[in-house]
């Protein structure tokens, strides 16, 4: 309970700092907000325009593609709002630059700091708001049966997809404990993998490629797969024999998060013994 209170207080503190940045440096803050919106629009525009040109893509109709784009935007927005600040979503930079000592010496558990430091509700919420608006528009066009259960599933899947992205980034970032200079930017490579591929529908791919993208490289779990299930619930409903299919995403999220925690804990033990052979003030906040 004390840890949760500490986390809440830190969230309030970082929200206040983000708001102060908006007030003190409004020009550059608005420039970042605008650039984030442009990047998000460009990411989804290409796939959607292809679906318009060909009347669908990857076994999905134009309207279904738009809904999948809105889901992907919501996931990206959650990531931007909770993990973009202070490089907590790019933790390999903190490790590789030798800046982990800045957090280790604080009288607050490391996991609380990593959860709270990235919170940017004012400068980082643009994409999330846009994704929610786009989803409302797409739902209205498709006349989906939106029930409390469907909304709960949407929230659960959106959080799960975001945690999958964060877990994969942290798994890759653990390499920075052992090769700080070489792996400093590996988190960005992992994030770009999701950013560039998650908006594509995977229904037209072969079985082997689809399996890989739903297991080893869980890109399909961050947009296509949950969107397909949500569309199924909103149009056809769900039967009990499909329960395992709907539990797959939360189960994979739990597996990846636990794997990331174990690898990070192992990396921290190595860090406690050997420390970091380098330090870079670049990007430190």
Q: What is the pLDDT of residues 187-219, one digit of tens each?
A: 999 998 898 888 888 877 777 888 888 898 899
**Distance (Å, whole) CA 123 – CA 82:** 11
Within 8 A by CB and 6+ apart from 145, the residues are 233, 234, 235, 237
Other C-beta atoms lying within 10 Å of the C-beta of residue 172: 21
The pLDDT of residue 259: 97
| Inside any domain, residue 283 | no
Domain count, the chain: 1
| Inside any domain, residue 102 | yes
| Inside any domain, residue 280 | no
Q: Which domain, by its residues, includes 42?
A: 2-274
The pLDDT of residue 59: 81
| Inside any domain, residue 284 | no
| Inside any domain, residue 281 | no
| Inside any domain, residue 109 | yes
Distances, alpha carbon 271 to alpha carbons 3, 254, 256, in Å: 24, 25, 22
Which of 30, 99, 21 lies closest to 283 in space, CA to CA?
A: 99
| Inside any domain, residue 250 | yes
> Coil, strand or helix: which one is 9?
helix
The pLDDT of residue 77: 92
DSSP 98-129: TTHHHHHTSSS-HHHHHHHTT--TTTS-HHHH
| Inside any domain, residue 117 | yes
Residues in the chain predicted with pLDDT less than 70, given as ranges, are 237-241, 283-285
The pLDDT of residue 78: 94
């Amino acid at each position: 309970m004390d840890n949760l209170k500490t986390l809440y207080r830190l969230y309030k503190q970082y929200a206040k700092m983000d708001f102060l940045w908006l007030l003190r440096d409004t020009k550059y803050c608005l420039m970042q907000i605008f650039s984030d919106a442009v990047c998000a629009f460009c990411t989804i525009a290409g796939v959607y325009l292809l679906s318009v040109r060909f009347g669908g893509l990857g076994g999905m109709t134009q309207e279904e593609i738009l809904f999948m784009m809105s889901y992907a935007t919501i996931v990206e927005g959650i990531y931007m709002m909770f993990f973009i600040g202070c490089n907590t979503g790019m933790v390999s930079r903190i490790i590789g630059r030798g800046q982990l000592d800045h957090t280790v010496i604080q009288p607050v558990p490391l996991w609380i700091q990593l959860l709270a430091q990235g919170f940017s509700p004012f400068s980082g919420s643009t994409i999330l708001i846009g994704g929610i608006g786009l989803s409302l528009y797409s739902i209205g066009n498709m006349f989906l049966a939106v029930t409390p259960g469907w909304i709960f599933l949407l929230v659960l899947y959106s959080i799960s997809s975001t945690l999958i992205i964060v877990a994969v980034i942290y798994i890759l970032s653990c390499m920075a404990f052992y090769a700080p200079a070489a792996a400093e930017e590996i988190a960005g490579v992992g994030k770009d993998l999701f950013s560039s591929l998650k908006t594509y529908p995977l229904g037209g791919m072969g079985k082997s490629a689809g399996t890989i993208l739903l297991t080893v490289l869980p890109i399909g779990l961050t947009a296509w797969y949950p969107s397909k299930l949500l569309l199924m619930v909103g149009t056809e409903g769900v039967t009990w024999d499909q329960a395992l299919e709907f539990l797959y995403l939360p189960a994979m999220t739990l597996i990846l998060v636990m794997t990331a925690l174990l690898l990070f804990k192992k990396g921290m033990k190595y860090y406690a013994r050997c420390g970091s052979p380098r330090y870079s003030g670049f990007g430190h906040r």
